[in-house]
Amino acid sequence: MSNGGGGAGASSSTHLLDLLEEPIPGVGTYDDFHTIDWVREKCKDRERHRKINSKKKESAWEFTKSLYDAWSGWLVVTLTGLASGHTALHSLSVYHSVQFMEQDSTLRVFSTGRSGQWFNFLTCPANIFTGPGPGSYIMNYFMFTFWALSFAFLAVSLVKVFAPYACGSGIPEIKTILSGFIIRGYLGKWTLMIKTITLVLAVASGLSLGKEGPLVHVACCCGNIFSYLFPKYSKNEAKKREVLSAASAAGVSVAFGAPIGGVLFSLEEVSYYFPLKTLWRSFFAALVAAFVLRSINPFGNSRLVLFYVEYHTPWYLFELFPFILLGVFGGLWGAFFIRANIAWCRRRKSTRFGKYPVLEVITVAAITAIVAFPNPYTRQNTSELIKELFTDCGPLESSQLCQYRSQMNGSKAYSEGSDAAAAPGVYSAMWQLSLALVFKIIMTIFTFGLKVPSGLFIPSMAIGAIAGRIVGIAVEQLAYYHHDWFLFREWCEVGADCITPGLYAMVGAAACLGGVTRMTVSLVVIVFELTGGLEYIVPLMAAVMTSKWVGDAFGREGIYEAHIRLNGYPFLDAKEEFTHTTLAREVMRPRRNNPPLAVLTQDDMTLAELQNIISQTSCNGFPVIVSKESQRLVGFALRRDITIAIVLCKHAKNALVNVSTSFCLSFYRRLLGIITKKDILRHMAQMANQDPESIMFN
């Protein structure tokens, strides 16, 4: 039996307006930071179905109500998909807000027209920012840092004042909520509104974060709000979680333009209960969201994604070796990042530094802006950086990465293609990319977990894309200068373009993201839909699987599971294996030297006896037995439900107040105890040499 009180109050960080949106707790509802009863919720749903089916033939109105109930699931996921799809406008505003940082401090305003154009209403004198000499560079440097600090300060201030739950990625909490945990206000209207606004500001500040994880949180907020329009979902927590699973799929569909990947992400990564009907509705929600995104046409190229690759050159068997090396790098990066980030977040929680979130965000934003500006690959938008790294060198590319040297008639000329030796511009770009790689690794560790909306997908993909592009150029030059080696002799002829560095960037991005999140199937599908590279499924699978194996060698937890454990949420991962041989008496409560177990009998309990048990114990619930003689377990009653029932009995004034009854204690078939989910989690933590009291909530 779980001790520690039955009525955990609302968290102090929960906004009052979000708490007021929740229904008043009654019999059958749950307190904040408690776990739902899945069996009871499913029984309630079956009973509701029986009542509807028994009445639908009585009248036309009852038949209409039955049709409404049957179609309410499809209606709520349609509304969720539409609302999530319209966050594409928000995605577009993020993209252009970051572009605003790169336009030499030209202030722009977003027009919500179909084409998504931007219009200037205040332009600084051009000679200040574009003129020659150090003056323009210093002024651009100053304005870049100024706007970064301004956006970061505004984002953290809005989160701290109006919606503390709007910070972070949101995926760890979504996973916990979908497993049956109650966090009131986390999916409320204020959280939705503030996170939508501050996500734009956080990305525009240039911090090493992305928008994809927070968009899943935003979509789940939409699903939660729409579920209150339908009694089938508003009055049943288990059914509501089916809507949230579909909303998660719609969120990924909007974030990446990957509807199939969104469904697989919901199934593999976040959902705890995923029946076949939920799979269909998740697919439909992702379809609706993708349709809305396509109708907006955010990138002006009739595609859903920014990273679509135009090349379809084949890959060769010998390239599997560098692809696997990128997978090893992704696994090592993931293991290192998880440990370093969790250590920093734990230090933030245990020191006074965590009490000043505004100062922390401003400090990290200042360091990021000051260090990022001199390097062109860290100065630009991370999404644009990934797009540039994925792109193959063609005749119209002017990037330093595409400056190659060819020998023509004894004279040196620069050619834009990857069938020649690298020019000094390529080597300069590789040095800058190496510095950008170190910078991204360090800043992502300190950025993820700040009190602003922060996703991890894009920063991890950027780190992998940088590493992959460097490896790709190295293999390309190796094949050019040593085309007679046995590895290259069969596939790489002299002057042939047999290596595609952009493919290595794509594989590296998938490997690093897989090393951090430990996703496999859904990640490969997301990257495929993100790039359109159907020919590169096998390299992606090899790199992602390798990164998972290497990461699991250092710890089986992904970053989201690690943050769940850090926050002490009672999440029992279905993928986790518990190999300890433990007897029930070692887990149950009361243990040795503890007070005797408090139980309720099925019949003959008086109001006074119930009041005495409630006042003399601090248990969250009590086992219900047939009688003191038989001690046969028949159920479990929550403390809060008993308290509400006592209040109702007092108002009814038809209950026995007191009676004297004698009971005999039998030594046979005696009830020994009850094991709760919290007891198991605490014991697992103790066996893993962790603090069992870190499981904070019931």
Asked if 420 and 480 touch (Cβ cutoff 8 Å), the reply is yes
Q: What proportion of the chain, given as a percentage, has pLDDT over 90?
A: 40
Rounded Cα gap, residues 130 and 271, in angstroms: 51
pLDDT of 424 above 90: no
User: Residue 221: what are its φ and ψ, rounded to 5°?
Assistant: -60, -45
Q: What is the pLDDT of residue 304?
A: 64
Burial 653-676 (b: 16+ CB within 10 A, else e): eeeeeeeeeeeeeeeeeeeebbeb
Asked if 463 and 512 touch (Cβ cutoff 8 Å), the reply is yes
Q: Which of 101-110, 140-149, 554-563, 624-633 has the lowest mean pLDDT?
A: 101-110
- What residues are paired with 406 via a beta bridge? 413
* Dmax (CA) of the chain: 112
Helix (H) or strand (E) holding 94, with range, is helix 87-101
Q: Which amino acid is at 527?
A: V
Rounded Cα gap, residues 548 and 308, in angstroms: 25
Across 171-193, average pLDDT: 93
Strands 621-625 and 600-601: parallel
The answer, as to whether pTM is greater than 0.85, is no
- pLDDT, the chain, mean: 80
Asked if 48 and 199 touch (Cβ cutoff 8 Å), the reply is no
pLDDT of 249 above 70: yes
Asked if 443 and 435 touch (Cβ cutoff 8 Å), the reply is no
Is the CATH number 3.10.580.20 carried by domain 594-674?
A: yes
Q: Which amino acid is at 24?
A: I
Rounded Cα gap, residues 362 and 519, in angstroms: 32
Strands 421-422 and 404-408: antiparallel
DSSP state, residue 485: S
Rounded Cα gap, residues 292 and 299, in angstroms: 14
Across 678-695, average pLDDT: 71
User: Residue 415: what are its φ and ψ, rounded to 5°?
Assistant: -120, 145
Closest by CA position to 282, among listed 297, 295, 269: 269
Q: What proportion of the chain, given as a percentage, has pLDDT over 70?
A: 77
The reply to whether domains 317-339+379-567 and 594-674 share a CATH topology is no
Asked if 232 and 48 touch (Cβ cutoff 8 Å), the reply is yes
Rounded Cα gap, residues 285 and 75, in angstroms: 10
**491-549: per-residue pLDDT in tens?**
676 656 678 899 999 999 999 999 999 999 999 999 999 888 888 999 999 999 999 99
Closest by CA position to 546, among listed 522, 515, 525: 515
List all residues 6 or more positions away from 218 whose beta carbon is below 8 Å from its beta carbon.
Answer: 84, 87, 90, 192, 195, 196, 199, 251
Domains of the chain, by residue range, sit at 83-89+168-296, 317-339+379-567, 594-674
pLDDT tier at 23, thresholds 50, 70, 90: very low
Question: Which of the pair, 208 or 631, is modelled with greater confidence?
Answer: 208
Q: Which amino acid is at 107?
A: L
List all residues 6 or more positions away from 226 whose beta carbon is below 8 Å from its beta carbon.
Answer: 76, 79, 80, 83, 243
Q: What is the pLDDT of residue 120?
A: 41
Helix (H) or strand (E) holding 34, with range, is none
- What residues are paired with 404 via a beta bridge? 415, 422
Closest by CA position to 98, among listed 380, 457, 451, 369: 380
CATH homologous superfamily for the domain 317-339+379-567: Clc chloride channel (1.10.3080.10)
C-alpha pair distances (Å), 678 with each of 271, 560, 682, 688: 20, 20, 6, 15
Q: What is the pLDDT of residue 188?
A: 92
